Structure 1
Amino acid sequence: MKKAAIYARVSTGKQAAGELSIPDQISRCEEYARARDYAITQHYIDPGVSARSDKRPEFQRMIRECTLGSHPVDAVLVHSQSRFARNTRDLLVYSEMLKDHDIQLHSITQDVGEGDTADIMRTMLGAFDEYQSKETSKHVSRSMIENARQGFWNGAQPPFGYRTYVAETRGARAKKKIEIDAQEAEIVRLVFRLYFYGDGKSGPLGVKQTVSWLNENGFVNRAGKAFRVQFVDKILRNPAYIGEHYFNRRDSRRGVERPKEEWVPFQMPRIVEDAVFYSAQEKLDRQHPLKTPPRLVRSDVLLTSIATCAKCGSPLRKQSGKSGQYHYYKCSRKSDTGETGCSGVSIPMSRLDDAVIDTLEEKLLNPARLRKLTETLVARASERSQEYGARAKRLDGDRRKAKSQVQELYRLIGTGELAMDASLSAHIKGLQDGIETLNRQIAYVEDQRAAPCDRLDDVAIDRFGRAVSTALRDRSNPAFAKAYIQSIISDIRVSENEIRISGPKAALLEQASAFSGANQLVPSFAQEWRTSQENVPTPAGLNYSRNWGAGTRS
């Protein structure tokens, strides 16, 4: 008796989950085999994989076993040629590979026989299948684009921090939209807070440190597993958290980005403020290992990783002279390649550090300047309190729901309706761990809600400004001073005659409110601010320069 293998496939996971198409394909192939006296020895099934590509695990296993083994089968049976391939090239290549090993490809619904005429017919059918696949793809893509334009989500798993809900039903089709997942959103906010401002004990954390902090404190991802560096990096870079998301941005088949005019804007509910998000982007860019070596990022030197040579853009690096008696900031390219690489700067460390701190004290930390900055915070205090209250309410709803589920499970166990086993025990523990996470999140939100913005009187502001100045000049704790510098400044361009300082965000406003209540400096979120060339605060960023020679600031 001749032997045959069956290959079956459907294009989407949804079709595979329906458990209809693949069993039907197999059943009809088995009927075909019985009628022609074939013994079925193997099944190869690819659920949810398109045949427009040959990158199909079971398909490749079938080809490998058929062509490398000792003639395991005499034929491969498929329901139709489109199950085997929807690409004419793949159809011809792989059918010829089988034929070279005396294995026939039989399409049970398109039996064209044998010989040259059959080969031509098979090629024509393959070309029609390919054309039909491309046309179907165009229609599906057009429908999905229109669906996105109408504000509905297209099937894929939403970013961490969001979830889908059924907004309406059209016929048998559920139309879904996006909303914030309260628990996940608080973790997203926490990631940004840790990365840019820290946990209040050690200053801003790096991506790896943020991952360690989350895992050490019991936070888990959507799958209930520990966080990974790649996942947190993706959160920090995702503009969906400030409401910017695009459908049809990438060609998933080719793995390339489409032209921008083909992108479809999709409005996402905001989770973080623009100031926080763009601050994180600047820090990610500044600390990228291809731009700044990790040893410089972790250095305790006050201005390392943010001070650069104005001429070539390379980071300034600490160098010592006279057996360590003197320390300088020097252009790293000049140090590595000499004058031929760059004729950039070499400046005593204390001189540059003092110049930067002097400028910050004059431009930012004097009471009059701080008073103007904190007016914005006080004006927003009521609005922010309402926002935090709504977030706490959503989290509390999730907590009450989880507690109710645990209580109901214990009731069913107590009445004997459920038997406690390892699986149920693990489920209950997962719910209890989730409740503990919610408790921490609610406490954090309530703490933010209770920030004493209304206590920022002139005395508190003056005391806060002096405390920050003292922290910046405290040489015994350079890491803490560096954390504050980096929360205010993103870039310092240094030339022989001038330094230019710029930075779009500052952590000072909410630090001031926390200081007025706790009487200690605690890194936290902040408003945007800028001192323009006219020395007028505006809600954008800071940008000013200092001439070395004249000793004046503009």
Structure 2
Amino acid sequence: MSNADRCALYVRSSKDRHDVSIDAQRRELLELAAKRGLAVAQEYADAVEAANDWSRPGFRQLLLDVARADRGWAVLLVLDTSRLARDVNLAGVFRHECRRRGVRVVFAKIPESNPLGDLITTHVYQLVDHIHSHMSREKGLAGMAENVRKGFRAGGRAPFGYALEAVETGAVRDGAPVTKSRLVPNADSAAIARYLKGRAAGLPGARLVRECGITLNPSTLVGIEWKALTYAGHTVWNVERAKGVGAGGYEGGAKRRPREEWIIQRDTHKALITEAEAEILLARLARKGATRMRNGDYLLSGILTAPDGRRWHGDQGHYRCGRRRLTAARLERQVLAAIAGHLGSDAIVRQAAQAARQAMKPNGRDVELRALQRQRDELERKLARLRNVMTEMRHPEALAPKVDELDEQKRAIETQAAAMVDELAGARISPLITEETVRTTLRGLAESLEGLDRIQLKARLRRMIERITVDPETLSCCLYYAIPAATGFSVATPRGFEPRLPP
């Protein structure tokens, strides 16, 4: 049996109670396969998964198998377009991939006519699915907002220090009581209350973490502080935007919405801190966000690493590696001071002078240069002959690709020859390179750093420094210089210093 007579099934159910079950979809698709004389070779299933999610396990495996030449089937049976995706872009990408791989997608609920009719019909159905998806989303959000206004949770896990408690609403659905959830303090509530009260009082977070016995990572603790109103006994919703493709990865460009868009229902559960303490925490976070340095503002980002290769990342005015944080401004000042001192040192001057003289030494490449010049002259003659012929041709454009090809070869040879001329010319000035001239050059390089703005200074550091290592444990620092000589040869030399940095 050939692949054309074998098919795969894809079935998906959603959270919608009125949705078609996986078993019902499977029965209808098996009937369709039997009617068309197709043998079912594979089935892909996703239970209670959103149609716009790329990471559905069954759908992800389907994508992988579509790309395989040995998948063993050439027809994919699906109940309707909404099973695959309600998002037009996702559906379009999947259809394109199937066409490219020779897979024909057949929808049980869409009658087949001709290729043009199928294309139009499929697009119409997918647009309807897309509209339905948006309407369902809006209905879901409205329901969540109503839950919040009634003092219930809108969904999700309980924040650290609380647990979820089910509360019966009095309604019955499918013979079972409908429940909503509220927050109640758990065993961790005392520790988190002490931590948040200390942070509101201005105490250092690292000290409070040790004293309270909290083992959460720093980013989680920042998230807890952003939930300060929740810890003050209020239910807060609509704080964060949906993930998207805008700046920062969120629709609208920022993770959190303006305060006026938040939905706050007051006094819905037991508070661990006061509202005044919560407002202090939120005000501090808002100030940090307004003055936070971007990655481009960190002079050493990209070249600052730990000895084991881990990178130090810019984070709210600090460089962070694991749990170690160093004040960015202080470290940058000390690195710049160290560079100014190092560039005048005898060791770097000596190595830079030796590297420059070595790069300028004659190495017998004049023979190569003459060969390149002969190739260039020969190409020039060929081009001249072709251009003469083209003037007499009725359709000279036929030779245009050949002319472009030879012209490109000629330019490449001229570039290579020019670089070789510069290299050979350096041999004549090699005796003029002394340690004193190199010292003067490096001193001028160090002085040129003064007065540059941060963007220019960062670009200059990228050219001067190969990398900087700072040990998160011992705080020992080492600078690896890459000082370019005239030919592009670099000197990389480690120079260490002990930065005076607080732990």
TM-score, normalised to structure 1's length? 0.44
TM-score, normalised to structure 2's length? 0.48
